[in-house]
Amino acid sequence: MTNKRRTKLRIAVLSGGPGSEREVSLDSGRNVVRALETGENKSRYIVIPLKFRDPRLLMSRLQRIQPHVVFPVLHGEFGEDGKVQALLEVFGKPYIGSRVLASALAMDKVISSKLLHAEGVRVPKEITPRSQVNLFGGVGSCIVKPRNGGSSVGVSIVRNKKDLQKAIKLAEREGEPLVQEYLSGREFTCGVLEFAKGKPSALPVTEIIPKSKFFDYKAKYMKGGSEEITPAGISRKLTEEIQQRALLAHKVLACRHISRSDFIYSRGKLYYLETNTMPGMTSTSLIPQAVRAAKMTMPEFCDRLVQATLQ
């Protein structure tokens, strides 16, 4: 009698990394591993958690494991910037998420904003060194952030000239600083899933109400740091506008499988802020919340990402 039992696929879940978002990545990794080891996924996958700090050791570990699919759950440096994606391309194994170029484009807030602005999407005004002279007498407050970075690490709202250099130095710890006009308003985020190639769909919109001044690192990852409402209690018109803009960002930046774009609704207008190509997957992260609102479980969600990668 022939043994027709299906061979389990080996899934390497990458987490950790060398950047400042390492702890969040480890938490995301644990949540993904849990989902891939739950329910019917148990019979489909052998899940191999691969935590690392030094990228130079990653290739040799992957060669020993020889996974069928790699599931990176890395944030910030060597996660969303295209570097790990380039390594995985060399490795020649299917991996979940956007490819090298899309990852690098989305990570760069200046380039991604210019690309979306060229498509008619409103973006915050960039404050150049020359325009900083009249900033606090005209535009008012500004926001300083790393040009490449995530999880709001190194981000400051500046309301007076004397604090500007301090904020720039804080952002420089994560890389090149970016200064933009500060827009106060309602904050929204919207995920996009692309299980079938070329057929992305928008998740329910989430409104974020931070308990602090803005949606900073603590508000994102500490329990009770913010109130997140999914689906957002807004008009159908605004919901559709946010979803259409999220889908447009996913397309323009050439994202794959999953992305999450952030917006602010200020003075009656919607502004695009940034796109995350490897969003947080912790139990309190925004994509898992939106997935639940879309009537999908985390095990089903992670399984569908794996299957999309194999197509």
State the catalytic residues: 21, 151, 221, 260, 262, 274, 276, 280
Q: At 220, phi and psi to the nearest 5? A: -75, -40
Cα gap 35→40, rounded to integer Å = 10
Q: How far is CA 147 from CA 73, 105, 127, 258, in A?
A: 21, 11, 13, 22
User: Which residues does 219 contact at the CB level (< 8 Å), separation at least 6?
Assistant: 152, 208, 210, 211, 212, 225, 226
Q: C-alpha dihedral over 229, 109, 95, 14, to 10 degrees?
A: -70
Residue pair 261/279 in contact (Cβ under 8 Å)? The answer is: no
What tokens were used for 54? 């030094």
Within 10 angstroms of residue 293's Cβ, the number of other Cβ atoms is 16
What sign does the CA torsion over 92, 95, 98, 100 have?
A: negative
Question: Measuring CA to CA, which residue among 250, 112, 239 is closest to residue 192?
Answer: 250
Scan for tokens 């052998």, then name that residue.
Answer: 46
What tokens were used for 182? 């500060």
